[in-house]
A and B are shown apart, each in its own frame.
Chain A
Amino acid sequence: MEFKDYYKVMGVARDATEAQIKQAYRKLARKYHPDVSKEKDAEARFKEVGEAYEVLKSPEKRAAYDQLGQGHAPGQEFRPPPDWGSGFEFSGAGGRDSDYSDFFESLFGAQARSGSGGARGAFHRGRGEDHHAKVLLDLDATLQGGSRQLTLRVPEVDADGRLVSKERVLKVQVPKGILPGQHIRLAGQGGRPSGEGTPGDLFIEVEFQPHPLYRIDGRDLYLDLPVAPWEAALGATVKTPTPTGTVDLKISPGKRAGSKLRLQGRGIPASPPGDFYVVLQIALPAADDDKAKAAYAALAAALPFNPRASLGV
């Protein structure tokens, strides 16, 4: 296990005040929060920052961490001393249910991962907890509907009180027309109640893998369709793949690259169904033989055309 320098993660000095730590956290949290961030590794960074803050904002945990941290460099191999944990009492009121690093858990234990599980049980007795999972499906699952095998990781507390992750394999009938971000609700597949009562539900949030042809935007699908310059200029009827099969698409004359054509109701078959957008891309034939070169030259000679007229040159 590697030693983590929480001060470095937060970008604060070792003698930073509570106010400075709070300020640093808020700034980093806004930057890396997965719901708002555009950064590439936002989720990983946000977890790291959250974990560092969890330790540094609590005077007890910070004191314990400081004592332990003497003589350790970040990334260095680390084992907590055998008598670790005595003399410190952790309140464990964090309220986040993110998964902390092994380093954190070896120091503060799984009990410090707080979470709202206890509170939940307290005011909703008699029903198992709802479980949540997120899966990445192929686009066909929503276009056609059909069953998919899903492998979920389920955290469980083992006999020694440690948190372990178990695999659960489920075959689920994916409802046709489900949209990214929506949930499949599987009644009774969540947590068991403690004692009498009904089990909770399992909520599976759905996202889609990138499709080789179509871009997904909510209920709409986008396809980049290459067309020849003369097809765009003169108009043509061209074959286009769509989720419901190949169609003959009529292109009216005078289209430019980036022109969008809408096929209503041919997106994801939700209610209401999404639309299918074809975005035209002009593909140029290669000028790699005499015939092609002559054709380009003839076009150049025939047309007084300055593609850079709008640039003033």
Chain B
Amino acid sequence: MSPSEDQVISGVIFEESALLSVKDLSRMCAVEERHIVEYVEEGVLHVAAIDTAEWHFTGAALRRARLALRLERDLELNLAGVALALELMEELRRELKARR
């Protein structure tokens, strides 16, 4: 599987190519699936599509989930605290952009 040094490996932009299931997200974030479901219930993560009763997320949700997990662990926040922090961070970013 290791390519030789001069072989060029092609990748895809993950955020634009992927549709992730709860299972994918839980594996990539190394948390239990229940945790991902809780994030959706708290509004931290948004479901992009539902088919055959299964939830799908865009690749961008991975970044958000990781950020949420870091805040939760490092700052010892609860779910509501994480949701609030993310909302405020987004608001701040929008405002800074508008002020440019």
- Residues of A at the B interface (CB closer than 8 Å) are 22, 26, 29-30, 33, 35-36, 46, 50, 95-96, 116-117, 119-120, 123-124, 127, 130, 147, 169-175, 177-179, 181-189, 192, 199, 203-204, 217-218, 222, 271
Contact = CB atoms under 8 A, between A and B. Distances in A.
B12 A217 contact: no
Nearest to B63: A181
B67 A185 contact: no
A120 B29 CA distance: 9
Contacts of A170: 3, 9
Interface in B1-39: 1, 3, 5-18, 27-28, 30-32
Nearest to B59: A183
Interface of B: 1, 3, 5-18, 27-28, 30-32, 59, 62-63, 67, 70-71, 73-76, 85, 89, 97, 100
A217 B97 contact: yes
A175 B13 contact: yes
Contacts of A177: 13
A203 B75 contact: no
A173 B14 CA distance: 14
Contacts of A33: 70-71, 74-75
B12 A185 contact: yes
Nearest to A147: B8
A185 B73 contact: no
Nearest to A171: B8
A271 B17 CA distance: 12
Do most interface residues of chain A lie in helix, strand or loop, or is the interface mixed?
A: mixed
Contacts of A130: 27-28
B8 A119 contact: no
Contacts of B97: 217-218
| Most chain B beta-carbon contacts within 10 A, residue among A147, A175, A179 | A175
B13 A182 contact: yes
Contacts of A271: 16
Given A182-B13, A184-B12, A217-B100, A171 B7 contact: yes
A124 B23 CA distance: 10
A120 B27 CA distance: 7
28 contacts: A22-B76, A33-B71, A33-B75, A35-B89, A95-B73, A117-B30, A120-B27, A124-B27, A130-B27, A169-B5, A170-B9, A171-B5, A171-B7, A171-B8, A175-B12, A177-B13, A182-B15, A182-B16, A183-B13, A183-B59, A183-B62, A185-B13, A185-B14, A186-B11, A189-B9, A203-B28, A217-B97, A218-B97
A181 B9 CA distance: 20
Contacts of B14: 182-185, 203
Contact of B30 (A119, A127, A182): A119
Contacts of B11: 172-175, 184-187, 204
Contacts of B10: 172-173
Contacts of B5: 169, 171
A192 B1 CA distance: 9
A187 B18 CA distance: 12
B9 to A, nearest CB: 5
